[in-house]
Homo-oligomer: A and B are copies of this chain.
Amino acid sequence: MKALVTGGGGFLGGAIIRLLLAKGASVRSFSRGSYPELERQGVECLRGSLADKEAAAAACRGCDIVFHAAAKVGMWGRYEDFYRANVEGTANLLAGAAAAGLNRFVFTGSPSVVFNGAEVEGWNESAPYPASFDSHYSATKALAEQLVLKANAPGFATVSLRPHLIWGPGQNHIVSTIAETGKAGTLRRIGRANKLIDSTYIDDAAAAHWCAAERLAPGAPCAGKVYFISQGDPRPNWDIINMILAASGSEPVTKTLSYPTAYAVALALEASWFLAGFTDVPPLNRFVLKQLTTAHWFDISAARRDLGYAPSVTIEQGMEKLKDWFRSGGK
């Protein structure tokens, strides 16, 4: 198998590449940045932008399958920039893959495309897209996913995976942020609601992509479908934070800040963006507070059935690996 992977410089894309190489596949990476560590692993690295139709098409030629894990993430930025990266980029890659005669396309979607502000408790893939999205990211990932599903055809099989909250060794930034807050002061949790959330260990997020690739074929049960992916083991959200803190060698959070206090500070901080020189900041803190008070977990039986996906580790086992990673200095 020769696989084209986008987003190979990222956390999930990098894990997909490592898994593909371990499975004996030949891998080509297509991304804007330069990633010498991928080249050292024997990956053929092409640099370019998905906004460039011809470059996207050229990247597909000679491959058997596409894993499209690249996306513009976050809440900061203009809708048109998210649209260009997530929707137009996906459209260009789909067109390039079809033109090059590939017949499998595995898309990394996002569970946030179904979030509508309500508690997400055991939802399956019948959950509809909401009337309005909570961010430009979600809105454009939903549009991109619809393009992917619509492109599914007799000679071109597509599938979208929606892994929730991926974590694990190597996820430098966000895991470091949590570890850092643990060291920066007495970290406290916000509110007493300890909502259940799903999460996905990095190796299992990558494995889901491999499972999908193996099962995907024109006419296969998973062709043209979406699948939620997680460890299948929802936990209270601050328990997850505490496990990450423990893995990083910090004390767990025990004290609690009241939600009204947190909301007041969140507002005051947002009013102060201006004083810090920011001209264009979304209501990030209020968004986070809303997430903290909403459950987010899914029914992953469809992925188990159609993809043969099964988590390979428990959350505790994954945390042990994270701990080893922290202990070895995050290498």
Q: Which residues of A contact B (CB under 8 A)?
A: 11, 33, 73-78, 80, 110, 112, 165-167, 171, 173-175, 177-178, 180-182, 184-190, 197, 237, 240-241, 244, 253, 257, 261-281, 283-289, 291-292
Contact = CB atoms under 8 A, between A and B. Distances in A.
Given A174-B274, A262-B269, 16 more contacts: A74-B281, A171-B279, A174-B279, A175-B274, A187-B271, A188-B264, A237-B275, A240-B274, A241-B272, A244-B274, A261-B261, A262-B265, A265-B265, A272-B291, A275-B288, A276-B288
A275 B310 CA distance: 23
A324 to B, nearest CB: 20
A175 B74 CA distance: 22
B269 A266 contact: yes
B266 A177 contact: no
A40 to B, nearest CB: 19
Contacts of A261: 257, 261, 265
Contacts of A291: 272, 275-277
Copies in the complex: 2
A37 to B, nearest CB: 15
9 contacts: A11-B279, A73-B278, A75-B278, A178-B271, A188-B267, A237-B275, A269-B288, A276-B287, A277-B291
Given A177-B283, A180-B283, A281-B174, A292 B275 contact: yes
Contacts of A286: 184
A185 B267 contact: yes
Contacts of A289: 269
A187 B267 contact: yes
B285 A269 contact: yes
A263 B185 contact: yes
Contacts of A273: 174, 177, 288
Given A187-B267, A266-B269, A177 B241 contact: no
Contact of A292 (B166, B171, B181, B272): B272
Chain B CB within 10 Å — which of A110, A240, A278, A291 has the most? A278
A190 B272 contact: yes
Nearest to A9: B78
Contacts of A267: 181, 184-185, 187-188
Contacts of A241: 271-272, 274-275
B257 A262 contact: no
Contacts of A277: 110, 112, 165, 291
A269 B173 CA distance: 15
A318 to B, nearest CB: 14
A207 B237 CA distance: 51
B279 A173 contact: yes
